[in-house]
Structure 1
């Protein structure tokens, strides 16, 4: 009798209220072990102890839904946030969160959105890791240009395997402290992307252009401007079908970050330009960097082994008095190996190990890390 009453009560609720909202997420964490060795001359050596810690790999929870408006038009929304098992996250809408419309014309959204460049990363970097070891256990150096920002974005429908995207972040969202005075250069940002998929083969281009890159987007939090337009371009080609995934990527960035922030990205925060014998003025200048990476994986039953390799060519200063200066400590090589084991469609065991070396001789940082973890999707 009680079960019948419950069923009748649920049936009486508005259908839209029950069917519109989807709860989803991922819980993923494990044990990470890492070690770093750096040499910036005989008087400035760093050799870390071995760090062992329980780490969160980007756990999240989200709510999403849609409402059919008629004439092949839907209202869509999503609210997603980080939920570290270490209890270090707080707030709502900390991940991709938006509201928009979707129909035969494509999809338009506004809110806190992944950049088109960031969305392309999934095609080359399938690895899990904590933020602290992202430069070793994932392609963290290349992903330094990835970001999530308040913007409006349009995605076209797929036509013959082709689709495109465009995105715009206004200046006053990029630099809200200056939204009324407009004393600082704009900082508005544009992204564009073009995708193609056919029979498992795919190609993706993603690019970004930022007017007058702001220093507070990069390193020191001030309101002055780098006064240079920044650009980033990423091209990915690959194949993902029949249990095989292979992808290669090339990336070029100029004035998107500073020398200091580039060194921080390739060393996991150990190195800055000052530590690697460059002056502070050079450290605050823009950097021009070219990188390549490749990933291969093959699924054997429940097991998917994979390997990635990334290489950063020697970067150079892209503006200021030292423009054109090559940075000796900026060249890097990285290797990651690992495997996933699927207990079910939702639960997967993870194991991986990574090694990365940036620079050489008296200016180098060498890092190694490994992890064992578990991921559950719901």
Structure 2
């Protein structure tokens, strides 16, 4: 009787599975690297690394009349067994995770959602080993490398995001991330807003993205604007990015702020900065050589200019093995200006990485 009941239960479940349309997907990325930065005392160190592996589950349900329920749960993982934090922790739903509705009028999602700056990285096309704390092969406009712009280029927590349908090559995104914090006697903290307008047609593309963080210093709001454009067709890829930011109170995590001349009190200032990047690639059969060059300009802190700039460049070569498998090798480096070196308390001004990796998507 138990066997009959089990068989009946499985038979009853099969139609439900068929209607659910659940897909398992992921990207396994592992390789080797030689890093030279502050975490290893600028001594060239060989390692076996994960390069941003992830696994996810997604699906949809047809509701009729052009409507669909859509959902996704995505998690980061580490292929080298070294563990990690944040998206690499191996915990569930550490990357983009949502539920929403797709329709002819656009897509509306709720959850942990990629922000508008993360969608505006046309000059960032290399993979990096997690062990490279300097991010030597990533453009300097991205959060973490721009020094003062410590938000964006990731995901909004507690987020609602609307993406419009394509209209003659144009599309728009509106996004909100709830801060969910309001201490007694203070303004709301942590609320984020994003907007993006983009165009793509006949190989040409362009976008403007805005990301705002409310009340980062009293009633002052931090803002980051980014524009990009380029061409991608006929085996040629060209892209350019420019960013300007006005960030309040973002220096609190910079240990050398008090050592600048003149010194400034970390975490209480208006910080203004610009950065830009260029990227070019050309596909020749299965090979694609690429180059990226980026520059972070010197920043103003309360109107005073400091030498917080930096230059970064990287060369890479992709080899496409199949539709799902890619090999990549390259070299990248960052050179920090004097005050940037002081702010980060770096003993040397240049960090670098050599890398080689294999990526397989499933």
Q: TM-score, normalised by structure 1?
A: 0.81
**What residue ranges of structure 2 are gaps of 5+ in the alignment?**
1-6, 145-151, 343-347
The question of 1:65 aligning with 2:59 is answered yes
The question of 1:242 aligning with 2:234 is answered yes
- Equivalences for 1:132-143 in 2 at 5 Å? 132-133=131-132, 135-139=135-139, 141-143=141-143
- Measure, in 1, the Cα distance between the counterparts of 2:175 and 2:208: 14
Partner of residue 36, structure 2: 35
Q: Identify the range of structure 1 (130-139 vs 108-117) with the bigger mean alpha-carbon deviation.
A: 130-139
**TM-fit CA distance, 1:143:** 3.7
Q: Deviations over 1:266-316 (max 9, x none)?
A: xxxxx7434656646146534211001010001111111100000111111
- Paired residue for 1:331, among 309, 313, 318? 309
- Equivalences for 1:336-347 in 2 at 5 Å? 336-347=314-325
Q: Deviations over 1:62-89 (max 9, x none)?
A: 0000000011000000000001113332
Q: Deviations over 1:222-268 (max 9, x none)?
A: xxx5652100001001011111111001001111672355xx6xxxx
Partner of residue 294, structure 2: 310
- Measure, in 2, the Cα distance between the counterparts of 1:155 and 1:195: 11
- Measure, in 1, the Cα distance between the counterparts of 2:264 and 2:300: 15
Partner of residue 218, structure 1: none
Partner of residue 72, structure 2: 78
Query: What is the DSSP-based 3-state SS (H/G/I as helix, E as strand, rest coil) of the residue aligned with 2:117?
Result: helix
Q: Is the 8 A contact 1:232 1:256 kept in 2?
A: no
Partner of residue 370, structure 1: 354
Q: Is the 8 A contact 1:274 1:283 kept in 2?
A: no
The question of 1:124 aligning with 2:140 is answered no
Task: Mark the CA change 1:48 to 1:68 in structure 2 (over 3 Å): closer, same or farther.
Answer: same
- Measure, in 2, the Cα distance between the counterparts of 1:185 and 1:279: 30
Task: Mark the CA change 1:183 to 1:252 in structure 2 (over 3 Å): closer, same or farther.
Answer: same
- Measure, in 2, the Cα distance between the counterparts of 1:209 and 1:58: 27
Q: TM-score, normalised by structure 2?
A: 0.84
Q: Is the 8 A contact 1:37 1:366 kept in 2?
A: no
Q: Is the 8 A contact 1:101 1:107 kept in 2?
A: yes
- Structure with greater proportional helix content: 1
- Paired residue for 1:205, among 205, 208, 216? 208
- Equivalences for 1:169-318 in 2 at 5 Å? 169-172=177-180, 175=181, 178=182, 183-213=186-216, 227-255=219-247, 258-259=250-251, 272-274=256-258, 279=263, 281-282=265-266, 284-317=268-301
- Measure, in 1, the Cα distance between the counterparts of 2:68 and 2:17: 13
- Measure, in 2, the Cα distance between the counterparts of 1:256 and 1:95: 27
Q: How many residues align?
A: 333
Task: Mark the CA change 1:228 to 1:345 in structure 2 (over 3 Å): closer, same or farther.
Answer: same
Root mean square deviation, CA, Å: 2.7
